């Protein structure tokens, strides 16, 4: 079988990892690195993560753009990407499983107030504390898409009271589903832990703000694994200072890497992870890309195509 050629652009540091993954799977893909200034006629498929200057002029035969990640806001904002080309966001089991691990870990961390034990251990202090049962905790997930839904199902399996919020109505077993802006208040009311897994769009930018924090249970916890642009940093710092919010895990930031002088780094109840919640797993991602290419070549509709007007 002739291998399909997939051009990788702007991923120089990771190219060898991806090539090894391609060699180790039966995806049937031949990965080729993009070289700036060189033309790539005859390449219909491209994999990119961030905008690459001058890329599209060198790809006259391009037919599908695959985004390396689930969040495509940077590519949507790039005017050099031809609007006629389908842009496919990443949906693959490795990315989903890693996010489920991360969200479960961070929800359990806040649920059990683990930092109190860590502080106590640093002082060799035996400090038991009481905590509610999982079924007494209300956990909400903003965004019930591929990732949010998988996380909601896992948290429900752990007996948390789970709610989810999306744009269109959903039905997920053991999860109370809310849809649309008009239900946001009801969704948020009294949540103990809020997880953000929204895409960054004009509607969701700044959604994690003082008004939203005021609707949660007192001393609630926030886990933001969506994008830094969802959070109003100063509102979170103020809410932590006045006790409205209790703690937060933040994985994504307005500027990445998070600047060394940002107050989040040294805040005793803010737990920073370096945009590490989840990542695309090359072997399973390549199998998924190959499946989509197969569909495309057979004339079937591509899945997970981004709606650029909607922003995700
Ligand atoms: P997805 O499948 O497109 O899901 C997005 C969800 O958000 C959908 O349920 C959608 O509602 C909902 N939504 C979007 N705009 C909304 C609005 N205005 N009001 C209410 N709900 C809205 O995306 P995904 O694959 O789950 O990924 C979600 C995000 O996670 C990505 O965009 C990215 O920012 C982030 N992410 C972060 C990491 C990390 O390592 N930190 C890794 C991967 C992804 P509908 O279902 O009704 O469309
Ligand atoms: C990572 O942040 C992604 O969007 O996949």
* DSSP letter assigned to residue 179: E
Compute, in angstroms, the gap from residue 279 CA to the centroid of ligand 2: 7
Q: Quick one: CA torsion of 210, 215, 221, 227, rounded to 10 degrees? A: -50
Token digits of residue 75: 């590519």
Q: If you search the block for the tokens 């202090």, which residue do you land on?
A: 125
- The residues that are catalytic are 227, 275
Q: If you search the block for the tokens 């690195």, which residue do you land on?
A: 33
Q: Could you identify the atom of ligand 2 that is nearest to the CA of residue 69? A: 5
Question: Is 80 exceeded by the pLDDT of residue 139?
Answer: yes
Order of all β-strands in the sheet with 193-196: 175-179, 161-166, 138-142, 193-196, 220-224, 245-250, 270-272
For residues 264-279, give the mean pLDDT: 98
Question: Is 90 exceeded by the pLDDT of residue 2?
Answer: no
> Mean pLDDT for the chain?
97
Q: If you search the block for the tokens 């050099």, which residue do you land on?
A: 80
- 6 strand-pairing partners: 31, 45
Q: If you search the block for the tokens 């429900």, which residue do you land on?
A: 156
Nearest to 166 by CA among 150, 152, 184: 184
| Residue located nearest, by CA, to atom 42 of ligand 1 | 278
Question: Is 90 exceeded by the pLDDT of residue 232?
Answer: yes
Question: Is 90 exceeded by the pLDDT of residue 1?
Answer: no
Q: Count the alpha carbons within 13 Å of 42 in the hemisphere toward its beta carbon.
A: 4
Res 275: pLDDT: 98
Compute, in angstroms, the gap from residue 290 CA to the centroid of ligand 2: 20
Res 64: pLDDT: 98
Phi, psi of 107 (to 5 degrees): -65, -45
- Cβ atoms of residues 134 and 157 within 8 Å: no
Res 196: pLDDT: 99
CA distance 201 to 224: 15
| Residue 213: CB atoms within 10 Å | 21
Which residues surround ligand 2 with Cβ inside 6 Å?
A: 69-71, 90
For residues 209-235, give the mean pLDDT: 98
| Residue 8: CB atoms within 10 Å | 21
Question: Is 90 exceeded by the pLDDT of residue 243?
Answer: yes
Res 150: pLDDT: 98
pLDDT, tens digit, 9 for 90 and up, residues 102-134: 999 999 999 999 999 999 999 999 999 999 999
Token digits of residue 275: 């945009």
Q: Report yes or no on whether pTM surpasses 0.95.
A: yes
User: Which one of 68, 274, 278, 288 would you pick to mutate in the ligand 2 pocket, going by the greatest count of ligand atoms within 8 A of its CB?
Assistant: 278
pLDDT, tens digit, 9 for 90 and up, residues 39-81: 999 999 999 999 999 999 999 999 999 999 999 999 999 999 9
Supply the angle between the helices 93-111 and 114-122 in degrees, to the nearest 10: 70
Ligand at minimal distance from the CA of 307 is 1
201 pocket-lining for ligand 1 (C-beta < 6 Å):
yes
| Residue located nearest, by CA, to atom 44 of ligand 1 | 70
Q: If you search the block for the tokens 């599908």, which residue do you land on?
A: 64
pLDDT, tens digit, 9 for 90 and up, residues 248-268: 999 999 999 999 999 999 999
Q: Which runs of consecutive H residues, i.e. helices, occur in the chain? A: 15-24, 73-76, 93-111, 114-122, 146-157, 184-188, 210-215, 233-241, 282-297
């Amino acid at each position: 079988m002739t291998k399909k050629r997939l051009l990788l652009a702007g991923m120089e540091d990771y190219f060898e990892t991806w090539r090894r993954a391609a060699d180790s799977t039966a995806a049937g893909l031949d990965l080729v690195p993009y070289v700036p200034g060189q033309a790539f006629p005859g390449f219909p498929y491209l994999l990119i993560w961030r905008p690459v200057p001058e890329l599209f002029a060198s790809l006259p035969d391009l037919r599908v753009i695959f985004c390396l990640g689930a969040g495509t806001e940077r590519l949507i904002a790039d005017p050099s990407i031809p609007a006629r080309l389908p842009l496919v966001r990443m949906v693959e089991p490795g990315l989903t499983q890693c996010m489920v691990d991360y969200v479960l870990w961070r929800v359990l961390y806040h649920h059990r107030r683990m930092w109190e034990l860590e502080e106590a251990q640093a002082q060799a202090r035996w400090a038991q504390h009481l905590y509610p049962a999982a079924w007494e905790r209300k956990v909400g997930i903003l965004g019930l898409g591929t990732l949010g839904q998988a996380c909601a199902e896992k948290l429900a399996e752990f007996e948390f009271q789970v709610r989810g919020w999306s744009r269109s109505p959903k039905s997920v077993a053991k999860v109370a589903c809310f849809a649309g802006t008009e239900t946001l208040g009801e969704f948020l009311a009294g949540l103990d832990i809020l997880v953000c897994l929204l895409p960054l769009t004009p509607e969701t930018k700044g959604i994690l703000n003082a008004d939203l924090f005021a609707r949660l249970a007192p001393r609630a916890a926030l886990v933001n694994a969506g994008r830094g642009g969802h959070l109003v940093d100063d509102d979170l710092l103020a809410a932590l200072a006045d006790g409205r919010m209790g703690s937060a895990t933040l994985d994504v930031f307005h500027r990445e890497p998070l600047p060394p002088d940002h107050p989040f780094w040294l805040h005793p109840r803010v737990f920073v992870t370096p945009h590490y919640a989840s990542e695309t797993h090359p072997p399973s991602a390549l199998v998924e890309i190959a499946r989509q290419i197969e569909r495309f070549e057979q004339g079937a509709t591509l899945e997970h195509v981004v709606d650029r007007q909607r922003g995700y």
